[in-house]
Amino acid sequence: MPRREWFFRVQDMLDALARIREYTASLDEVSFRSNRLVVDAVIRNIATLGEAASAVPFDVRERHPAIPWQKLVSMRNVLVHEYFGISLEVVWRTIQDDLPPLSTLLADLDKAEGGP
């Protein structure tokens, strides 16, 4: 499979964030934790965020240091490799506290870097 250009990965990240918002918009933490389908979908999309972030070139990451590139990659690694130890409390806090500003930062990157 041919390698995708990095700016498409940023769009993948924006799409994953939109899906997470859609899946969790009407939920509180208790509802989220009890809905395994939503939990699985959110975890998959957070993993997509980290995988896509790892494909963004270092020079682009340096130009956008407010984006927590390494944290995204690290969280993906935990979700994929330490799946048996996932804390749904941490996932919920991530959804509520960390992902909304990330959407803005990635949209700003997309505009600044002139993706397709």
Catalytic-role residue among 33, 63, 64, 81: 81
Catalytic-role residue among 36, 61, 76, 93: 76
Task: Respond yes or no: is residue 76 known to be catalytic.
Answer: yes
Going by C-alpha positions, the residue among 34, 10, 14 that lies closest to residue 100 is 14
Going by C-alpha positions, the residue among 61, 84, 88, 83 that lies closest to residue 72 is 61
Give Rg (Cα) of the chain: 14
What is the 8-class DSSP label of residue 4? P
Tokens found for residue 36? 């395994």
CB-based burial of residue 53 (10 Å sphere; 0-12 exposed, 13-18 middle, 19+ buried)?
Answer: buried
Q: Which residues are catalytic?
A: 76, 81
